[in-house]
Amino acid sequence: MPINISSKDNERIKYTKSLLKSKNRQKESKYIIEGYRILTLSLECNVDLDYVFINETFEDKEEHNKFLSILKNNKIKIFKTTNKIFNELVDTENTQGILGVVRFKERKIEHNISCDYKFILILDRIQDPGNMGTIIRTADAAGVDAIIALKGCVDIYNPKVIRSTMGSIFDMNIIHCTQEECLKEVKQKDFNIVSSYLNTDNYYHKTNYGEKVALVIGNEANGVNEDLINESDILVKIPIYGNAESLNAAISSAILMYEIKKYLS
């Protein structure tokens, strides 16, 4: 059933390998997802799956063969290559032997922030792929309506980010834009801009957030940039009871998201 490819110089192999680089993902509007579970989720979420690669051993399991039949029924092309070549197409050491190439469309902020939205998340220069993926996953769990990734954030289609989202990349409305575009839109739609900030006396659990919230989470090392701080309607902080200087960005975002969601509910 799969189309066999045994040469590393094959154009399909070279094209897929190129998608490991961010500039090529952006140019082609495609990214790689890896692993049996996330491929099954991609079908459940009706993701635009372009094609699939498997290695030599993927078909050894009955459940895997059933999944390949589902792919075939959905008219998705399946290619099979050697374990050695397959390993060059992924960035994990312990591969499950399957990857997919997914098409994506860039979302414009002016068309993707609904007036009905009550809670959005703004990410300011989040750099760590693990943090980014965890934040996306947590936002999905906490019922955030949309995520705005400002210029300077890590590529959300980075394989490490994709893995950390555990499939939430398919569920979330994620928008890329500049800070200026973001501020214009959220202000027009009457969101209160809430920034996490250490130099305030306003604790997160003793705050009136209003009816619509745009929560800003800042860079891991430097926090929210000064321009966004100055544009914020509310500044909040999470108390530190021990000796740590601050919390990890993903942890602090989780605490704030759930508190705000509870308030808005």
* CATH number of the domain within which 29 lies: 3.30.1330.30
Question: Quick one: pLDDT at residue 118?
Answer: 98
Beta bridge partners of 236: 196
* DSSP character at residue 2: P
| pTM across the whole model | 0.94
Host domain of residue 17: 3-103
* Predicted pLDDT at 259: 97
198/84 same-domain check:
no
Can you list the positions of beta strands (E) in 5-133? 30-34, 49-54, 77-80, 98-103, 119-123
Instruction: Return the ∠ at Cα 164 (arms to 89 and 57), rounded to 5°.
Output: 40
The whole-number mean pLDDT for each consecutive block of 10 residues of the chain, a chain of 265 residues, reads: 93 98 97 96 95 96 96 96 96 91 94 96 97 98 98 96 95 96 97 94 95 97 95 96 91 97 94
**The domain boundary residue, chosen from 52, 82, 103:** 103
The span from the CA of 233 to the CA of 131, in Å, is 25
* Nearest by Cα to 224 from 145, 96, 121, 85: 121
Which pLDDT score, from 0 to 100, does residue 246 have?
85
Domain shared by 166 and 182, yes or no:
yes
Domain boundary among 103, 124, 151: 103
Determine the Cα–Cα distance for residues 88 and 13; give it in Å rounded to an integer. 9
Number of domains in the chain: 2
Calpha distance 30→102 (Å, rounded): 5
CA distance 182 to 192: 13
Residue 91 pLDDT: 87
Question: Do 68 and 118 reside in the same domain of the chain?
Answer: no
Q: pLDDT value at position 74?
A: 94
**Which region holds residue 125: left if phi is over 0, alpha if psi is between -120 and 50, else beta?**
left
Q: Do 126 and 230 share a domain, yes or no? A: yes
Residues 138 and 46 in one domain: no
CA distances for 59 relative to 18, 102, 264, angstroms = 25, 22, 48
Here the CATH number for the domain that contains residue 168 is: 3.40.1280.10
Residue 69 sits in the same domain as residue 114: no
Residues 133 and 155: beta-carbon distance below 8 Å? no
Bridge-partner residues for 120, per DSSP? 146, 214
What's the CA dihedral at 134, 136, 140, 142 to 10 degrees? 70
Last residue of a domain, one of 61, 88, 103: 103
Residue 80, φ and ψ in degrees, nearest 5: -120, 135
pLDDT of residue 93: 82
Whole-angstrom Cα distance, residue 71 to residue 67? 6
